[in-house]
Amino acid sequence: MRNAMIFAAALWSTVALAQTEVVVVGNTPPGGAGDKTWRAFAETLNAKAPGRFTMKMLVRGELGGDDQGFPAIRRGRGHIGIAGESGYSQTLPEASVLNLPFLFSSADECDFVFDTVWTPEAQKLATARGITLLQWVEIGWLELFGKKPILVPGDTKGYRMRAFPYEASQMFLKTVGADAIVLATPDVIPGLQTGLVAGGEFSLLSYLRFSIFSEAPHLTLTEHSYAVSGLFANTQYLNKLSPEDRAALTSAFPDTPTTRRVTRADLAQELEDGTKKGVIVHRITPEQRALWADAARPIHQAVIERLGPEAARIYDLVQEGKKLYAARAAGK
Neighbours of 124 (CB within 10 A): 11
Q: Please give the average per-residue pLDDT across 241-255, as a whole number.
A: 97
Contact 41, 252 (CB under 8 A): yes
Positive or negative CA dihedral for 117, 122, 128, 134?
Answer: negative
pLDDT of residue 332: 62
pLDDT of residue 186: 86
Contact 188, 202 (CB under 8 A): yes
pLDDT of residue 7: 34
Q: Does residue 121 surpass a pLDDT of 50?
A: yes
- Cα 286 to Cα 140, 171, 204, 283: the distances in Å are 20, 23, 20, 10
pLDDT 10s digits, 291-327: 999 999 999 999 899 889 999 999 999 999 999 999 9
**Which pTM value belongs to this model?**
0.86
Q: Give me the CATH code for the 2-329 domain, please.
A: 3.40.190.170
pLDDT of residue 274: 96
Q: Using CA atoms, how far apart are residues 156 and 201, in angstroms rounded to an integer?
A: 11
DSSP-derived secondary structure for 14-51: HHHHH-EEEEEE-BPPSSSHHHHHHHHHHHHHHHHSTT
- Cα 64 to Cα 78, 158, 228: the distances in Å are 12, 33, 18
- Smallest CA-to-CA distance from 98 within 153, 139, 150, 37 is with 139
Confidence at 245, pLDDT banded by 50, 70, 90? very high
pLDDT 10s digits, 62-78: 988 888 999 999 999 99
Q: Does residue 51 surpass a pLDDT of 90?
A: yes
